[in-house]
Amino acid sequence: MKSKTIKLDSLTIEIEKLPLIRYAELLQALKTLTPHLTMKEGSSMIDVLMQIASTSLPDLIKVLIVVTPLKQSDIEKLGLDEIVRIVMAISEVNGYDEVWTQAKKVIALAPQKQ
């Protein structure tokens, strides 16, 4: 299975390619984020991550629990730079283009919070 080891400030973790069942869990977790997002043409993953962190941090933590071996208490201690490293490793291991394309579709189809 494809994986990548990433060094965080206080620990090292292994990000593995998500098996189908975990990918489905990821998409479900992403759905909880979508009411909090507004997608603009040309939005980067970092733009979206910053928006999520400022509007829906508990939902971001749920997503990270699905895609990492970390517990909630560990995730809550991470800095934004570490979150970015994790997200980039997830994208690399799971095929950034395909994952991002699917995430944008989920976001675009969800009702927007007014």
% of the chain surpassing 90 pLDDT? 31
94 pLDDT above the threshold of 80: yes
Q: Is 92 among the domain residues?
A: yes
| CA distances (Å), origin 14, targets 7, 47, 69 | 9, 25, 8
Range of the domain at 22: 3-109
Tell me how far apart the alpha carbons of residues 41 and 48 are, in angstroms, rounded to a whole number: 12
Q: Is 114 among the domain residues?
A: no
Higher pLDDT: 23 or 85? It is 85
Find, among 18, 48, 47, the residue nearest to 33 by Cα: 48
Confidence of residue 99 (pLDDT cuts 50, 70, 90): low
Tens-digit pLDDT profile for residues 9-62: 999 999 999 888 888 888 888 888 777 677 677 777 677 777 877 888 888 899
Tell me how far apart the alpha carbons of residues 47 and 44 are, in angstroms, rounded to a whole number: 5
Tell me how far apart the alpha carbons of residues 38 and 73 are, in angstroms, rounded to a whole number: 28
Q: Is 22 among the domain residues?
A: yes
Q: What is the pLDDT of residue 112?
A: 65
Q: How many domains does the chain have?
A: 1
